[in-house]
Chains A and B, each alone.
Chain A
Amino acid sequence: MTTKISIQHVGKVFGEGRHRVEALKDVSLDIADNEFVTFVGASGCGKSTLLRIIGGLEYHTSGEVLANGRPVAGPGADRAMVFQHYSLYPWLTVMENIKFSRRLKHGRENLTSAEVEAASGRADALLSLMGLNAAVDAYPNQLSGGMQQRVAIARALMGRPEILLMDEPFGALDAQTREVMHDLILHVHRLEKPTLAFVTHDVEEAIYLADRVVLMAPRPGRIDTIYQVPLPAEREQDMKHTPEFLRLKKEILARIRETSGMKTDQGMLDQLNMQEAV
């Protein structure tokens, strides 16, 4: 297995002086080619910041990040990103959104006509893969949240990125839609073979999708534990009820609570009860 993303002793400091916040401290992680890694952790653990650093949308203040063997110096088409929302272009139809990268110089440069043709074939293929055929001429604001995210994923895949970064992409969707999207993204992962880094606050989602779950802890943001997911590569919804799955979920949830630095839910409830008694 070759390493696709190599994060070496990465640190990130926001602000200066009194406003100095250490968002990430000495984070090191290697992600293999075609691996699916999810990031979870209490708020403020820097998981989104780390993803954005890999994407080149944020810069790190120490250490080094290599993607595809090259140091990350800014955003690039080899590392496409899917956001939680507001990233689609409302003035473009679904098809135009998916083909957006074709409008960019980067996507047009040095192409033979056969390649251009192949590209529109690819747009059609992605449209089918994402189940968007019926919505091809619709505008984003005519679509449900789940359909919008399908478009966002298809658009990100259009340029065949070797790395796909997803920042809580299903965070705004309802539970049923989310399950459908989980199986869809696993299918995409098998078919397109991108290396996938996925940030979420949903532990069940993190386990179900991933080869490895990276648990991060806050203040300063750092990697706490890395869990290998003990499930077969081919995932099915029923696996969420297996003992291994539930045990891991319980373990991760407990660890997040421990590292969050806040009182446990039970502790908080006890406190409330005490106040009521007074």
Chain B
Amino acid sequence: MQSKPGTRPRKPGMWAIRGPMSRRQYWVFAVLGLLAPLALWWLVSSSASVDKVFMPGPVDVYHRLITWYTEDDLMSDIWISVYRVTTGFLISALIALPLGLMIGTFRPVQAVLEPLTDFVRYMPAVAFIPLVMLWVGIEESSKIAIIFIGTFFQMVLMMAEDVRRVPLAQIEAAQTMGATRGESVKLVIFQSAKPALLDTLRVTMGWAWTYLVVAELVAANSGLGYSILKAQRFLQTDKIFVGILLIGLIGLVMDQLFRLAHRKAFPWLHLRS
């Protein structure tokens, strides 16, 4: 395209392909992105043609949140759910980490475990419920077991992949400096994979939360997932909304905590040079 002589080149706007955007503009758009669905929700729910049972409005949901908090002990529901998710997640992480490290480092371990893990991870976690009840019982451990089953196999495979992505040159450089096999694993492979491993933990933490409702199908009498299921029975749509939104919110907070930990633990990745 040719422009008239004398026209000065213009700074590309934010709509240019991968164009620039100031921080302020970014936040304006971000807030807009969050408010728009809220406004739409409010609009749809307040129109006369929509029954409250199908679509409670933001105000109804807020009131339900308050009564749940004051009358139905919301905090203990939140607490027990957080406990189940984090325990299942932590057990999963503690076993997946060394296994992933081994699978990604040693081919025989990969050959033994990876196809097996790949197979198991396609089995639906929900279908394990009867077996879990049979083997683990219906105590707290069974809910934790479901969350474990839902996250563990994915986690192992993702961690193995993180470990495999460590550049070979980093490992070989250590070997030509006299590193033993153990030292190469401990001082290079694990150190190098750490940021990716933490990211994998962050992502799988999100998945652990999605298994909460499934886990609380098993003889639970408290928890956010259980409350959602119970509310369904009584057609308390507003309570379902509160439960879903709370799970989303807790997940978001945990995600942000993981991101913060990432910035604190791996400062070299977040430098502006």
Chain A positions within 8 Å of B, measured between CB atoms, are 55-57, 74-77, 79-81, 83-91, 100-101, 103-107, 139-142, 152, 155-156, 158-159, 161, 165
Q: In the complex, which of the residues B172, B179, B188, B268 contacts A139, with contact meaning CB atoms closer than 8 Å?
A: B268
Q: In the complex, which of the residues B183, B191, B194 contacts A104, with contact meaning CB atoms closer than 8 Å?
A: B183
29 contacts between A and B (CB under 8 A): A56-B176, A57-B176, A74-B175, A75-B172, A75-B175, A76-B178, A77-B176, A80-B176, A80-B177, A81-B172, A83-B173, A86-B167, A87-B169, A87-B173, A89-B192, A91-B266, A100-B174, A104-B177, A104-B180, A104-B187, A106-B177, A106-B178, A106-B179, A139-B271, A141-B273, A142-B271, A155-B173, A156-B176, A161-B176
Q: Nearest-CB distance from B262 to chain A (Å)?
A: 13
**Chain B: which residue is nearest A85 at the CB level?**
B169
The 8 closest A-B pairs by CB, nearest first: A77-B178, A106-B178, A87-B169, A139-B268, A86-B167, A75-B175, A142-B273, A81-B176
- With A104-B178, A104-B183 already in contact, 12 other A-B pairs whose C-beta atoms are closer than 8 Å: A56-B176, A57-B172, A57-B176, A77-B176, A77-B177, A80-B176, A81-B176, A89-B191, A105-B183, A139-B271, A141-B271, A141-B273
Question: For chain A, what secondary structure do more than half of its interface residues adopt (helix, strand, loop), or is it mixed?
Answer: loop
Q: Nearest-CB distance from B147 to chain A (Å)?
A: 31
Q: How far is the CA of A104 from the CA of B188 in the complex (A)?
A: 11
Q: Nearest-CB distance from A169 to chain B (Å)?
A: 11
**Chain A: which residue is nearest B266 at the CB level?**
A91
Q: Which of A76, A91, A100 has the most CB atoms of chain B within a 10 A radius of its CB?
A: A91
Q: How far is the CA of A55 from the CA of B174 in the complex (A)?
A: 12
- Chain B contributes a number of interface residues (CB within 8 A of A) equal to 23
Q: Which of B172, B175, B177, B192 has the most CB atoms of chain A within a 10 A radius of its CB?
A: B177
- Whether A91 and B191, one on each chain, are in contact in the complex, defined by CB atoms closer than 8 angstroms, is yes
**Chain A: which residue is nearest B191 at the CB level?**
A91
Given known contacts A85-B169, A142-B273, A91 and B177 CB-to-CB distance under 8 angstroms: no
Q: Determine whether B256 belongs to the interface, using a CB cutoff of 8 Å to chain A.
A: no
Q: Determine whether B170 belongs to the interface, using a CB cutoff of 8 Å to chain A.
A: yes
Given known contacts A80-B177, A83-B172, A91 and B167 CB-to-CB distance under 8 angstroms: no
**Chain B: which residue is nearest A55 at the CB level?**
B176
Interface string of B181-195 (1 = CB under 8 A from A): 001000110011010
- Whether B268 and A79, one on each chain, are in contact in the complex, defined by CB atoms closer than 8 angstroms, is no
Interface string of B141-180 (1 = CB under 8 A from A): 0000000000000000000000000010110111111111
Q: How far is the CA of A26 from the CA of B157 in the complex (A)?
A: 43
Given known contacts A81-B176, A85-B169, A139-B268, A103 and B187 CB-to-CB distance under 8 angstroms: yes
Report A-chain residues with C-beta under 8 Å of the C-beta of B173: 81, 83, 87, 152, 155-156
Q: How far is the CA of A86 from the CA of B169 in the complex (A)?
A: 6
Q: How far is the CA of A75 from the CA of B171 in the complex (A)?
A: 11
Report B-chain residues with C-beta under 8 Å of the C-beta of A74: 175
Interface string of B241-273 (1 = CB under 8 A from A): 000000000000000000000000010110101
- Whether A159 and B268, one on each chain, are in contact in the complex, defined by CB atoms closer than 8 angstroms, is no
- Whether A91 and B172, one on each chain, are in contact in the complex, defined by CB atoms closer than 8 angstroms, is no
Q: How far is the CA of A158 from the CA of B176 in the complex (A)?
A: 12
Report B-chain residues with C-beta under 8 Å of the C-beta of A155: 173, 177
Report A-chain residues with C-beta under 8 Å of the C-beta of B273: 141-142
Report B-chain residues with C-beta under 8 Å of the C-beta of A142: 271, 273
Given known contacts A83-B169, A142-B273, A90 and B268 CB-to-CB distance under 8 angstroms: yes
Report B-chain residues with C-beta under 8 Å of the C-beta of A76: 176, 178
Report A-chain residues with C-beta under 8 Å of the C-beta of B269: 90, 141
Q: How far is the CA of A106 from the CA of B175 in the complex (A)?
A: 11
Report B-chain residues with C-beta under 8 Å of the C-beta of A101: 177-178
Report A-chain residues with C-beta under 8 Å of the C-beta of B191: 89, 91
- Whether B177 and A57, one on each chain, are in contact in the complex, defined by CB atoms closer than 8 angstroms, is no
Q: How far is the CA of A101 from the CA of B238 in the complex (A)?
A: 62
Q: Nearest-CB distance from A57 to chain B (Å)?
A: 5
Interface string of B41-85 (1 = CB under 8 A from A): 000000000000000000000000000000000000000000000
